[in-house]
Amino acid sequence: MLRAVVTNFASPPVLTLEEARRPVPGKGEILVRVTATALGFVDGLIAQGKYQMKPQLPYVPGGEIAGVVEEVGEGVSGLKEGSKVAVWQFGGGLAEYALANADESIALPEGIDEKVAASALVDYLTAHYALFVRGALQAGDTVLVLGAAGGVGQAAVQLAVSGGARVLAAVSSQSKAARARELGAVDVLVLGSDGPPLRDQLRAIAADGAIDVIVDPVGGVDSEPSFRSLAKSGRHLVIGFASGSIPKLPTNLALLKSASLVGVDVRHFVDGHKAEAFAAAQALFQRFADGVLQPVAYIEHSLDEAQEAFTTLAARNKVGKVLVKP
């Protein structure tokens, strides 16, 4: 089988295509014929050796996988050859076949495009966990989504709108603004070095202190002015630092606003509340299959374009996920 591997950590990542033996599933495992693998910000860090967990080399990147069960190992129940599944694991997806633990695999409903499933798996589950579990979103809340054209950002806009919230979206370009509006954002703030500061734009479209929930997968310079715009008892959901900068926040702001800075670790949701997390993922997949949620925006590459896929992943002007299809 063909696979893309990282043999040395480098910045930017360097991937090599190679032929390898097709793996055989062991006890409790399935062999997945990969039909689509989505890449996210963390994949770029892992491939450079900059993530908190460093993989053993050689390493096959890509952990957001959708595919078809090709073989089942001993003791596997509930899945069979031909079952369509989605899997989130630590790598293995940039290959024609990947091993996965059967009990970590989510059966896909009829009618969902596997490319959409791979692209939505982590981002939409993250947005769900952020908004409805950690953020306690209520209908009528005003939500500010930073990085609203990214994977998690788009998911947050669409899920917040479907939950009855008024959504404000912050993006870095007019092309990204168009996507946020398509997903239901009522106001879009375009941020940049030549435009008004975020705080001024928020004052212009909402009364000061009108933001109930902030979805923040970006970090950087916009985190503090966002927090300052929270309403009393507001929640600032910290999901990641795609800007590359971890902000510092004066803690007296939390006291003055009776506001909360809330960490959102979707891996903890999956590991610590697996049944709830898998049920949420299956419900999200069903909503895509039923046409309730708009298809995920993605940029597609073939497996032999794995190197180009990582170049796309690092681009600041992309809209949506990067997807690799063998």
Q: How confident is the model at residue 243 (pLDDT cuts 50, 70, 90)?
A: confident
Tracing tokens 């697996």 back to the chain, one arrives at 274
Tokens 């982590």 belong to which residue?
A: 122
Which pLDDT does position 302 carry in this prediction?
Answer: 97
What average pLDDT does the segment 189-193 reach?
82
pLDDT tens digits for 102-134? 999 999 999 999 999 999 999 999 999 999 999
- pLDDT digits 0-9 by tens, 306-321: 999 999 998 877 877 8
What tens digit of pLDDT does each residue of 84-93 get? 999 999 999 9
According to the model, what pLDDT value does residue 315 have? 84
Question: Is the distance from CB of 158 to CB of 180 less than 8 angstroms?
Answer: no
Tens of pLDDT, residue by residue over 10-23, are 999 999 999 999 99
Q: What's the pLDDT at 320? A: 78
Please give the C-alpha separations between residue 256 and each of 40, 202, 219, 232, in angstroms, as whole numbers: 36, 19, 21, 8
pLDDT, residue 205, reads: 81
For residue 107, the SS3 value is: strand
pLDDT band with cut points at 50, 70 and 90 for residue 269: very high
The mean pLDDT value for 202-215 works out to 82
The pLDDT confidence band at residue 188, using thresholds 50, 70 and 90, is very high
Q: What is the mean pLDDT of residues 246-271?
A: 94
pLDDT, position 193: 65
**For the segment 209-240, what is each residue's pLDDT rounded down to a tens digit?**
589 999 999 999 999 999 999 999 999 999 99
Check whether 203 has a pLDDT greater than 90.
Answer: no
Of 108, 161, 165, 163, the closest CA to residue 142 belongs to: 165
Cβ-Cβ contacts under 8 Å for 239 (sequence gap 6 or more): 126, 130, 152, 215, 216, 217, 264
pLDDT tier at 207 (50, 70, 90 boundaries)?
Answer: low
Mean pLDDT of the 188-203 span: 83
Domains and CATH numbers, the chain: 2-113+295-325 (3.90.180.10), 123-267 (3.40.50.720)
| For residue 197, pLDDT beyond 90 | no
- Output the pLDDT for position 166: 95
Please write the tens of the pLDDT for every residue from 69-83. Answer: 999 999 999 899 999
Q: Answer yes or no: are the C-beta atoms of 146 and 217 closer than 8 Å.
A: yes
Going by the DSSP 8-state scheme, the letter that residue 130 receives in this structure is I
Mean pLDDT along residues 32-54: 94
Residues 5-41: b if buried by 16+ CB within 10 A, e if exposed? bbeebeeebebeeeeeeeeebeebbbbbbbbbbbbbb
For all residues of the chain together, what is the average pLDDT? 93
Q: Which residues contact 314 (CB under 8 A, 6 or more apart)?
A: 12, 44
Confidence of residue 184 (pLDDT cuts 50, 70, 90): very high
Mean pLDDT confidence for 171-189: 91
Conformational region of residue 183, where left means phi above 0, alpha means psi within -120 to 50, and beta covers everything else: alpha
How many percent of the chain have pLDDT more than 90? 83
Q: Name residue 36's amino acid.
A: A
Q: Which of 193, 150, 147 is nearest to 170 (CA)?
A: 147
185-217 burial, b at 16+ Cβ within 10 Å, e below that, comes to bebbbbbeeeeeebeebbeeebeebbbbbbbbb
| Cβ–Cβ < 8 Å for 164, 143 | no
Secondary element (H or E) of residue 17:
strand 16-19
- pLDDT (average), residues 203-207: 76
Residue 198 pLDDT: 86
User: What pLDDT was estimated at residue 182?
Assistant: 93
CB atoms within 10 A of CB 243: 18
